[in-house]
Structures are given as C-alpha cells and as structure tokens.
Amino acid sequence: MKKLILAASIAAIATGSANAATIYEGKGLTYKLKGDFQVQLRQDVGDDQNLDVEFDDLELKNSVVYDLKNGVKAFGQLDFGFKDAAEDKQDGSDLEEAYIGLDFGKVAVSIGKQNFATDEFGVEAAYELRSEADRFEEQGTDGDDTIRVNASLDNVYIAASYEIEAEGESSENGQSLDLFVSTELSGVELAAAYQTMEATPTSASKDTWGVSAAYDFGVAKLAADFSTTEDVADQYNLAAVVPVDKTTKVAVGMLNIKPETGDDVTEWYANVTYKFPSQKNVSVFAEIADTDEDDIEIGYLAGMRLKF
C-alpha cells in the first residue's frame, strides 16, 4: 500500500521517523532503524497469471540526526530494499534513498538520492495495482541528484524538489521540478501537486499536475484525486476506508485512466486489514482486484506485514 489518505501529513518534516526503533541516543546523536517487511501470497491481475510469493516491501531505513543546538539539526538517511534480491532478480540489495540535510525546525533542506515532492501526492488505498497509482507515479517520482525542501507552516505543508540534469555523468536521468502543497480546511484535507520533467537531456518537457481531497465522516473516510499529464493521459482515483473496529479496516477504490490515444482503463480493488491489538505494527491483510481490459483475470492476495 503505497499511499495513505491523505498521503502527506501536515506536520511531516524530512527528519521524521514514526515507529522507528531508537538504536542509540546520546551526546547529541540519535540513530534510528526503521523496518517494513511484507510478504504476500499473490496472483496478479492479468492474463495467464500464476500464484506465487511476492515481497512488497523488504526495507531497512537508517536515520541519523545530530543536534547542532539553537534549533538546528543535521540529518542523514540511508535506505535499502531487498525485494528484488528476495525474488532472485539481482544479487544483493537495492539502495533506495541516500541523502543528508539540515533541519531548521519548520523547514528542512536535503540533497542526494531521494523522492521528489510529488511522491507525496495521491489517495489510492490498494496493496497492489496493475496500473500506476497516479500520473506522477507514471512519470517518475524519485532521482539520484535531488535537492528537496520541506516546510511545515501552521496548517500548510509545502514540499519542493529539483532533480539536477547531471548531463554526461553516471547519474544522468533528466531533470524535474516538483511542487506539493497540502492543508486542512473545515475538516477537508486538500492537496495540489505540479511537475515539469525532461526524462532525458534531449526529450521535450512534460507537465503534470494534480489535485486531491479527503474527508473523514467518522464511519468512513472518502477521498478522490485527479491528475493529468499534458497531451498524454488523464487519471482519477476514488477511495473509501471504513474502520470496522479498532483493529480492522476495509478499503475499496477504483481508478480510471483516459489516454490521449487508445482505450480507457478502469481498475477496482477491495481489501481488508487486521492489526493485532497487542502489537499495532503487526498486521494481516487480503485483497481482490480487477480491470475492465479484455482477457484479464481477477487478481487476489493475502499477506502479513511487520513494521518497526
């Protein structure tokens, strides 16, 4: 499940590490380790798919923070994913994020390999999707040469990032400018995002923008988003999360993609998640999903997740 409703926390800042285990704390240094282990028994939505064991995700996140006094902190993040290694797609691990920065309290600046600001966007509540969750995911939401600024200002959260072109260098992967803003008005969570990207030094820039809204009615949380890439495709998501009780929630949702050329695609999903009352970071879940494409069979999965 890549997104939450609402995806961005208003109070989030670059150095946050909820649920992380503190390995060391002393002399102004805090080292935390965060893990996310998820294993699924899954048959993907699609044609002629077979049941197998999938890993999504197997992550270890290392966070180091130094207190520089006067409200300033230096931080570093080093994250590894072992999903591909577990599925024999490669030897060893995959470096997912590696960045350092300074946190000034309400504003944090970081540089390195990290997610773009538009990675915050979206209300999708699925464990697995056949399609990308939104147009930003389709275009790309992370880079190796990224400068990012996060700001938490009263009731407004702002993130901005710039991917350096790095033309001719080993990390060359185009350039991208991304913006994300979220707030809450009268209980309604609102967000907007914008990206202008050149996938390669010779490619034309593509502009993508999106808006989202979510409201918690108590008995259910409803959310919707719309995103579009100029001259490529439009996409929207609808999602609802229903808390059955303190340990169990049910989510249902659908997405629709309307490309400039070709047929529309509609995908739907429904899942249930149970968190053990004695350990909220341990959960089990199940999901079914399908699309309206021709010759596509329904998909399903069941799995277990451990976080710390």
Per-residue model confidence as pLDDT tens digits over 260-282: 998 999 999 999 999 999 999 99
Q: What is the pLDDT of residues 123-176, one digit of tens each?
A: 999 999 999 999 999 999 999 999 999 999 989 999 999 999 877 676 777 899
Q: What is the pLDDT of residues 216-226, one digit of tens each?
A: 999 999 999 99
pLDDT of 201 = 72
Q: Say if CB 123 and CB 137 are below 8 A apart.
A: no
Q: Quick one: what percent of the chain has pLDDT higher than 70?
A: 92
Per-domain residue ranges of the chain: 21-307
pLDDT at 34 over 50: yes
Superfamily of 21-307 according to CATH: Porin (2.40.160.10)
Q: What is the pLDDT of residues 70-90, one digit of tens each?
A: 999 999 999 999 988 888 776
Higher-pLDDT residue of 186 and 203 is 186
pLDDT of 52 = 94
Bridge partners, 143 (sequence order): 114
Prediction pTM value: 0.91
pLDDT at 31 over 50: yes
pLDDT at 3 over 60: no
pLDDT of 185 = 94
pLDDT of 278 = 96
pLDDT at 91 over 70: no
Higher-pLDDT residue of 30 and 89 is 30
pLDDT of 4 = 47
pLDDT of 169 = 75
Residue 203: pLDDT band (50, 70, 90) is confident
pLDDT of 138 = 95
The closest alpha carbon to 163, from 148, 141, 142, 146, belongs to: 146
pLDDT of 88 = 76
Mean pLDDT, residues 104-124 taken together: 97
Mean pLDDT, residues 93-108 taken together: 93
d(CA 267, CA 121): 19
pLDDT at 10 over 50: no
pLDDT at 19 over 90: no
Residue 17: pLDDT band (50, 70, 90) is low
Higher-pLDDT residue of 5 and 149 is 149
Residue 16: pLDDT band (50, 70, 90) is low
Write down the mean pLDDT value for the chain: 91
Mean pLDDT, residues 111-126 taken together: 97
